[in-house]
Amino acid sequence: MSELHKFLFEGLPVRGLLVRLTDDWREVLRRREKAQDAFPQPVRALLGEMAAAGVLMQSNIKFNGSLIIQIYGDGPVKLAVTEVQSDLAFRVTAKVVGEMPERAQLDTLLNVNGGGRCAITLDPKERFPGQQPYQGVVALHGDQREPLHQLSEVLEHYMLQSEQLDTKLILAANDEIAAGLLIQRLPVEGVGNLGRKNEDEIGINEAYNRIAHLTATLTSEELLTLDADTVLRRLYWEEKVVRYEPVQPRFACTCSRERVGNMLKSLGRDEIDGIVVEQGRVEIACDFCGTKYHFDPVDVGELFTPQSKQAPGSTSLN
Ligand SMILES: [Zn+2]
């Protein structure tokens, strides 16, 4: 069962989250395999890390809507996406166009010529008219333009930039599990005022730095193989950790026949009729979950018929 654990360090302005996506992650990979469209191993590892990171970030900010991480690449991977809803339902996909080395990392997958970008979008569930989703973009290289090999470094940079909060992130994924650990320094009220500022800030930074340092000692292997209790005990056995009841992230897709129909409509009747003439019907497979949607000539006719002209009781969609 997939799990998300939240915890605090008693008396310290530091909080943490640990996620383990297990059967839900295997289901994502199983569906790709079933559709005979499995991703190469380095892409599976990247998408697993993105899924874990997306769940951690969504849970961390509790955003009422979808949190979407999109990495646009200039290498063999053109796009990698993860989307996490406020109830921690997640889905992932990628667009792979070229061959890649067996042990490819972030830079060899997506940042071959230094043009890769990572965009984090917060799309509110209910937008008021004219409201745009919030989006922040970070490059896939560091401050000295050195290429980053790890997704975690890119996202740490994003969180420092967007939330001004120090974050330590450890991510790892294989074909069995996608996991992540996030530690963040909490903003503290009253700090930053004149007077005692420096003294307080030193204490706060020391606590965070100590915990971030402990966190950084966790290896990928440990994160992938140890259960949550063992990880937290091993890393923070000298700290007072306050645990919360774990919650359950899950794989779920938001695609539907109606949405696919609307997408076809937006392409225009000529385009769709052309496909029907050529192939007899339109078949669209969801990039995220592999579900196939078919539209035969009658479905297509109904799609482009204004609602009011349809026969009563006709069901063009669903
Ligand atoms: Zn789907």
Distance 36 CA to ligand 1 centre (A): 16
- 3 state SS of 275: helix
Ion ligand 1: protein residues whose beta carbon lies under 5 Å: 253, 255, 286, 288-289, 291
Collapsing DSSP to helix, strand or coil, 122 comes out as: strand
Distance CA 78, CA 98 (A): 9
What is the pLDDT at residue 311? 57
User: What is the residue type of 75?
Assistant: G
Q: What tokens appear for 270 in the block?
A: 């000529």
Give the integer Cα–Cα distance in Å for 214 and 32. 37
Has residue 318 got a pLDDT over 50?
no
Residues 249/21, Cβ–Cβ less than 8 Å? yes
Q: Could you give the CA distance from residue 304 to residue 197 in angstroms, rounded to a whole number?
A: 65
- pLDDT (average), residues 20-47: 94
- What pTM, to 2 d.p., does this model score? 0.89
CATH number of 3-251: 3.55.30.10
Contacts of 198 (CB under 8 A, 6+ apart): none
Beta strands 117-124; 65-72: pairing state: antiparallel
Q: How far is the CA of 291 from the centre of ligand 1 (A)?
A: 6
Residue 287 Cα, ligand 1 centroid: separation in angstroms?
7
CATH number of 257-309: 3.90.1280.10
Specify whether the CB–CB gap between 272 and 307 falls below 8 A: no
**Residue pLDDT, tens place only, 255-309:** 999 999 999 999 999 999 999 999 999 999 999 998 999 999 999 999 888 776 5
**Arithmetic mean of pLDDT, 115-133:** 90
Compute the distance from residue 94 Cα to the ligand 1 centre, in Å. 13
In 3D, which of 317, 139, 170, 307 has the Cα closest to residue 232?
A: 170
CB contact at 8 A, 40 and 175: no
Distance 294 CA to ligand 1 centre (A): 14
pLDDT band at 189 (very low <50, low <70, confident <90, very high): low
Cα(213) to centroid(ligand 1), Å = 40
Topology match between the domains 3-251 and 257-309? no
State residue 258's pLDDT score. 93
Residue 203: how many CB atoms within 10 A of its CB? Answer: 14
Q: How crowded is residue 74: how many other Cβ atoms within 10 Å of its Cβ?
A: 15
Report pLDDT for 90: 98
For residue 24, give the nearest of 51, 42, 50 by alpha carbon.
51
Domain ranges across the chain:
3-251, 257-309
pLDDT at residue 193 greater than cutoff 50:
no
Q: How far is the CA of 259 from the centre of ligand 1 (A)?
A: 10
Distance separating alpha carbons of residues 56 and 239, to the nearest angstrom: 22
Distance between Cα 108 and ligand 1 center (Å) = 28
* 313 CA distance to ligand 1 middle (Å): 27
* Alpha-carbon torsion angle 178, 184, 186, 192, nearest 10: -150
Structure tokens at 246: 């774990």
Most confident among 162-166, 194-198, 225-229 (mean pLDDT): 225-229
Instruction: Calculate how far, in angstroms, residue 121's C-alpha sits from the geometric centre of ligand 1.
Output: 19
